[in-house]
Amino acid sequence: MPQILKIDSNIKAVYTRTKKVLLQGGVIAFPTDTFYGLGVDPFNREAVDRIFEIKGREKNKPLLLLISSREQLEALVKEINPAHSALMRKFWPGPLTLLFEPSSAIPENVSAGRIGIRQPGNSMTRDLISALGQPLTAPSANLAGESPPTTAKQVDQSLGSHLDLILDGGTCPGGEPSTLVDPVEIPIQLIRPGAIPFCEIEMELRGNSKTAHTEILG
């Protein structure tokens, strides 16, 4: 059975324990903007493989990474283009996942040609990632095809026997997932609809295109 730690208890001890588990290749569950996610060190190939095994997830599906700052982002990607920058300014932190070309530091089993990255709106999640000093993977903490969990208890009931640590941050709000778009190629592509309507994303890019006198919508 996994250890379950409440995030509102001794927060420094929680972060210390979490970092130790991750550095040892462990898998944690933690609260995000909407549901509980599964976190591992994304630079540990074996730990990443454990997530695919636990979820029964297809290997060709890239994993989302959560970051706490732009500095973390710059170490993960080859390029931040004008469309990326415009959308980050408007919608981060928040429920928008952007695709990038991964840097050579990212193991192949994390990405499938592109890597999805988001700065979460949940301050608790950002504080956790900042304290750990590195990004975290964040696929939902459920078996493939099942409903994602909103409580630590649901995570424990579903996947507890496969996890090393569950961080209990209370009940997540649920709702729509993050909107997923690919700004690498122009015009920008909607990959998955979500909490932010695609029309708002297009509107933001049009406004920035006119201001900068550059075409970032194609």
For residues 91 and 140, give the distance between their C-alpha atoms in angstroms, rounded to a whole number. 21
* CATH fold for the domain made of 3-211: DHBP synthase (3.90.870)
| Burial tier of 202 (Cβ tally within 10 Å: 0-12, 13-18, 19+) | middle
Predicted local confidence at residue 212, as pLDDT: 45
Tokens of 96: 């928008």
Picking from 74, 92, 135, the residue whose alpha carbon sits closest to that of residue 110 is 135
pLDDT averages per 10-residue partition of the chain, 218 residues:
87 94 97 95 94 88 90 93 96 96 89 89 94 94 92 96 96 95 93 96 84 48
Tokens of 75: 């170490």
Predicted local confidence at residue 214, as pLDDT: 47
Predicted local confidence at residue 129, as pLDDT: 96
